[in-house]
Each structure stands twice: as C-alpha cells, then as structure tokens.
Amino acid sequence: MWPAYKVFWTSFSKRTAGSLIPLGTDEVLEKLEDVFQQPFNTPTRRTVVQHVIQSYQRLPGNTLLRSFRVTYKRHVLTMDDLSTLYGQNWLNDQVMNMYGDLVMDAVPEKVHFFNSFFYDKLRTKGYDGVKRWTKNVDIFSKQLLLIPIHLEVHWSLVCVNVSKRTITYFDSQRTLNRRCPKHIAKYLQAEAVKKERAEYMDDWKGYFKMNVARQNNDSDCGAFVLQYCKFLALELPFSFGQQDMPKLRRQMYKELCHCKLTA
C-alpha cells in the first residue's frame, strides 16, 4: 500500500480560486484514511508520509512550487515564508504583517493593525522614530489598535481599545512585560498631542489578560497572536487553545493564499 502514497501525492498541490495551496501532512493523512478506510495517523505512517512529502518537494520538476508567490498590497509571501506555518515553526514578520493586514481589511473602519517592526522602533527610538507611521491614519477614530510585539524569539500582542482608554497585553506564555503597556501609553499620549486630540492625552490604563489559552510549547506564540487579532477584530469569543493550533495553522495558510479571512 505504501506506493499508493506516491500516486496520491501527485495531488500535492491543488488549484483553488487561482491559488496554489500545498497540502499538509494532516490533510494527506485524512484523505488517505478516507480513500483506504484505514487508520493512517500513526507515528510510523505519519513519518512515511512526511518523508514522501519532503521527497516530492525536492524533485527538480517542482520549480513551480518553489517559485510560488502570494502578493497582497505591498506584501509578497514566498514558500519559505508560508512554510513557517508548517508544524511547529516560528512565524516570521512577513506572515505576521500580511495576516494582520487581512484582519484590518476585514473591518477597516474599526481596526488598525501596526506593522510588527513598530514596537521595536518605538522602544529603541521613542516617539520620534514612529511619528510618521500614522501620518495618514487617524488612530483615534478606530475602535481597536492591534500591535504585535516581537521580543527576541517570542510574540505577544497589545490591543488598545480607544474609546475605553485601555491597553491590554495578551501573551500565550502569560509573561508580564510591564514596560510594554507603558511604552504604548506614552506613544498614545504623544500622538494625541501631535494630532491635537486633547481628550486622548490622559487616563490610559494598562491590563494583562491572564485568562487566555496558554501555549504548551515554544513555537506557537505567533499563531496565538494572529488568532487573538482575528477574534478581537471580529468580536468573537476566544474559543481556541493549544490543541487547535495545527488546524488553525493550516487555516491561516489557506487564508493567506486566498488573501481573505474565513469565518
């Protein structure tokens, strides 16, 4: 039966809505179980399937796969970028920023998503280093500001509720980064001064959201942050946890390829 993998794997890449979306290991295992009516999700069979997938990816004829690009606005994702959504890889800035823009564009009047390099620039250069980043955006007209935080190898999120004057820190490892909300509060105050919005110069309060699902590995922090962004923007209750990350990673992969969020 093992040769059937190679026959099946000719459908490794499927075309839908003009996008080339490589299938993941779990999708192949699910399809094999459906076709052969046997359990395939065992350690031994999973290893064989992964080996076949990797062998197929290395074939000389797969130049189309290697040259695949997703373009959305100013974003360009390569297969290397998208592959950070495989397994337990760390998400990179390119994936974070394009997905954040998809979230923002789903509710453009409500949400502003800040580039993942924003906070590091703010932290190291102060307000002068980022004051031009919102020259064409009135952040105080938005309901939510989503600010991804990338410190060394860990992702977390700050969500600013403008009308409530709250700065909430979300961290799937529940790390208390007390400096971060303070930096954001100072930024908001400086932005209010620059934009002459006196009503937003004071009364900002910082919170740490502790009752959120917690990751139990060292690699899913970025995936958690993107889900926080999506669920906050769409006003959905957090209904995901560590056990959902493999499925959600595959879903985000497809959303990026289609340049559109799914419900």
Q: Which residues are catalytic?
A: 154, 171, 221
Helix/strand/coil (H, E, C) string of the chain?
A: CCHHHHHHHHHCEEEECCEEEECCHHHHHHHHHHHHCCCCCCHHHHHHHHHHHHHHHCCCCCHHHHCCEEEECCEEEEHHHHHHHCCCCCCCHHHHHHHHHHHHHHCCCCEEECCCCHHHHHHHHCHHHCCCCCCCCCHHHCCEEEEEEEECCEEEEEEEECCCCEEEEECCCCCCCCHHHHHHHHHHHHHHHHCCCHHHCCCCEEEEECCCCCCCCCCCHHHHHHHHHHHHHCCCCCCCCHHHHHHHHHHHHHHHHHCCCCC
